[in-house]
């Protein structure tokens, strides 16, 4: 029996979590399940994309990863596909409130709504990383399933923690340092009151806080560094700004921390409210209360350990790779049967 052809049309850098940990990590699993996986990187221009689309065998399963295509492009892609999917783990139809010129952002917003979102009904299925994303798209195309991101990078073995250091860790790109800035004053006050505490930032840039440089540790991002320094830390954090862009974040950091056995602390907002039972498998906090809650956790290592164990169980129960891959296969099977 001929293998089913699956075109994975990925948008952007292959090391970003959206690509690396939502799809590329499952290629061997798809092949083992009888799928002929062909990965194409989204071309920058429409003319190049048209050539890519024509190269795809007719009747194939095609998944567009985190890219909004114009109506004419999607019509062409639809003509090549047996079933057509869109996968999103960010609110890419919104403009980022902390980047760019507000006037330009407004024009981008209008363009996305008029020329890009109008094509959404052409998809046979949309896969969203969380309910907030699904809520936005459901009025346009109700054929939606929710599948979160699973951090399936391998962990570093034999890591020894330094119990003398209370290490707070954050991982992310420098473009997202504004999330740390949201609680910078709170973190600064906490660090000044605790000599053996530090903030560890794993990123492609260096983060700084005036007057606290000796308690900021910057680690260059790599998959190995990320795994190592998360495991060497005491608490994983995910602060958010309170806006519609952040509401669509899929809490990948928290899932990564949980997988590696770290207690978590996050802004009480968005998808984080769905996955954390505050005080049990993590802590949810208002952005004005970070210092107060950090002070409490610093003095309660037993509670941190209990939350770490419960958080890891949350990962095993809901976010382990085998669970996510099974969900993907079931969605593909259901859609294929529906379009035949």
Q: What is the pLDDT of residue 1?
A: 39
Fold of 4-150+320-339: Rossmann fold (3.40.50)
Mean pLDDT for the chain overall? 90
Residue 13: pLDDT over 80: no
Task: Summarize pLDDT for 167-190 with one digit per residue, the tens.
Answer: 999 999 998 999 999 999 999 999
pLDDT above 50: residue 256: yes
59 backbone φψ class: left, alpha, beta (φ>0; ψ -120 to 50)? left
Residue ranges, CATH 3.40.50.2300, the chain: 4-150+320-339
Q: What is the pLDDT of residue 157?
A: 67
pLDDT top residue among 339 and 329: 329
pLDDT band of residue 100 (cuts 50, 70, 90) is low
Of the chain, the end-to-end C-alpha distance in Å amounts to 18
Q: What is the largest CA-CA distance in the chain?
A: 67
Angle between helix axes 301-318 and 252-259 (nearest 10 degrees) is: 110
Q: Which residue has better confidence, 220 or 337?
A: 220
pLDDT digits (tens, 9 = 90+) for 106-126: 566 655 665 678 899 999 999
What confidence score (pLDDT) does residue 3 get?
59
- pLDDT per residue as tens digits for the range 48-95: 999 999 999 999 999 999 999 989 999 999 999 999 999 999 998 887
Tell me which CATH code domain 166-318 carries.
3.40.50.2000
| Cβ neighbours for 82, distance < 8 A, ≥ 6 positions apart | 58, 59, 60, 61, 336, 339
CA dihedral 127, 15, 321, 86 (to 10 degrees): 10
Pairwise pLDDT comparison (268 vs 4), residue with the higher score? 268
Give the model confidence (pLDDT) of 117-165 as tens digits.
Answer: 889 999 999 999 999 999 999 999 999 999 999 987 667 666 777 778 9
Q: What is the CA radius of gyration of the chain?
A: 21
Q: What is the pLDDT of residue 276?
A: 96
pLDDT number for residue 151: 84
Looking at 6-10, 158-162, 240-244, which range is the least confident one? Answer: 158-162
For 93-116, give one letter per residue: b (16+ CB within 10 A) or e.
Answer: bbbbeeeeeeeeeeeeeeebeeeb
pLDDT digits (tens, 9 = 90+) for 206-227: 999 887 788 999 999 998 999 9
Q: What percent of the chain has pLDDT over 90?
A: 70
CATH 3.40.50.2000 domain position(s) in the chain: 166-318
């Amino acid at each position: 029996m001929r293998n089913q052809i699956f075109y994975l049309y990925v948008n952007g850098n292959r090391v970003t979590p959206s690509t690396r940990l939502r799809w590329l990590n499952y290629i061997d699993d798809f092949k083992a399940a009888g799928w002929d996986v062909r990965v194409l990187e989204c071309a920058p221009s429409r003319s190049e994309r048209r050539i890519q689309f024509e190269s795809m065998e007719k009747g194939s399963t095609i998944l567009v990863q985190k890219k909004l295509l114009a109506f004419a492009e999607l019509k062409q892609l639809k003509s090549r596909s047996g079933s057509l999917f869109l996968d999103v783990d960010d609110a890419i139809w919104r403009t980022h409130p902390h980047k760019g010129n507000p006037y330009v952002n407004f024009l981008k917003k209008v363009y996305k709504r008029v020329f890009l979102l109008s094509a959404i009904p052409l998809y046979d299925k949309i896969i969203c990383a969380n309910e907030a994303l699904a809520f936005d798209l459901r009025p346009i195309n109700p054929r939606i399933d929710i599948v979160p991101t699973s951090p399936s990078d391998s962990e570093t073995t034999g890591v020894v923690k330094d119990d003398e250091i209370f290490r707070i860790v954050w991982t992310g790109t420098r473009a997202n340092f504004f999330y740390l800035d949201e609680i910078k004053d709170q973190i600064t006050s906490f660090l000044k009151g605790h000599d053996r505490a530090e903030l560890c930032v794993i990123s492609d840039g260096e983060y700084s806080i005036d007057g606290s440089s000796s308690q900021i540790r910057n680690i260059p991002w790599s998959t190995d560094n990320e795994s190592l320094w998360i495991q060497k830390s005491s608490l994983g954090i995910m602060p958010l700004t309170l806006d519609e862009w952040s509401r669509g974040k899929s809490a990948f950091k928290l899932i990564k921390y949980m997988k590696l056995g770290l207690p978590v602390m996050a802004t009480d907002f968005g998808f984080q409210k769905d996955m954390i039972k505050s005080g049990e498998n993590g802590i949810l906090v208002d952005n004005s209360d970070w210092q107060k809650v950090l002070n409490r956790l610093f003095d309660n290592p037993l509670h941190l350990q209990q939350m770490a164990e419960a958080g890891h169980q949350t990962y095993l129960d809901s976010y382990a790779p085998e669970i996510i891959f099974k969900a993907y296969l079931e969605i593909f099977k259901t859609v294929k049967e529906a379009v035949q």
